[in-house]
């Protein structure tokens, strides 16, 4: 078991924790530290993270523990990261499929290449277009999480 510093970030790269409402680990950790939150219920009340389906409650609990310097079991951290990765990928793919692709001009296509934490790598066809890339990035940030880092590769 490992311990996180009370003042340091939660372990691992920043990630999307609440997929329903687009709340990141960074926002949750800031709220926990700044408002001295100690329970999942307090985090839900103050950030609204976890007020949708509730799938992220275990991960919110982990962040609270890590921010408070309490030990977090390795198996819990592993399970939370796996669920987070899978759910975030589904959320990004659905947003691309239903919120971006139908609005692209005929002949244009965008696909998810990689996802790591809050970083999303996309491929755009048929060519690079700064205005279109900006629109896609803004749209994904509105649909998924305002803190996403969108890269076109």
The number of folded domains in the chain is 2
What's residue 13's pLDDT? 83
- From CA 23, how far away is CA 26, in angstroms rounded? 8
Same-domain pairing of 41 and 67: yes
Same-domain pairing of 70 and 115: no
Same-domain pairing of 79 and 98: no
Same-domain pairing of 24 and 74: yes
pTM of the model: 0.81
Same-domain pairing of 52 and 94: no
**Enclosing domain of residue 98:** 89-152
Same-domain pairing of 81 and 109: no
Same-domain pairing of 62 and 94: no
Q: What is the mean pLDDT of each run of 10 residues along the chain (153 residues)?
A: 41 86 94 96 96 93 92 88 91 96 92 95 90 96 95 95
Supply angle C-alpha 115, 6, 141, rounded to 5: 30
């Amino acid at each position: 078991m490992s311990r996180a510093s009370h003042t340091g970030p939660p372990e691992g790269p920043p990630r999307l924790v609440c997929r329903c409402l687009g709340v990141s680990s960074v926002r949750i950790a800031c709220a926990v530290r700044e408002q001295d939150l100690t329970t999942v219920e307090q985090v839900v009340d103050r950030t609204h993270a976890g007020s949708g389906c509730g799938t992220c409650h275990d991960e919110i609990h982990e962040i609270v523990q890590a921010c408070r310097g309490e030990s977090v079991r390795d198996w819990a951290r592993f399970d939370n990261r796996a669920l987070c990765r899978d759910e975030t990928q589904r959320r990004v793919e659905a947003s691309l499929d239903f919120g971006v692709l139908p609005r692209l001009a005929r002949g244009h296509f965008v696909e998810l290449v990689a996802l790591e934490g809050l970083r999303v790598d996309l491929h755009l066809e048929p060519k690079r277009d700064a205005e279109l890339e900006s629109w896609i990035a803004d749209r994904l940030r509105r649909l998924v999480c305002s803190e996403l880092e969108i890269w076109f590769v």
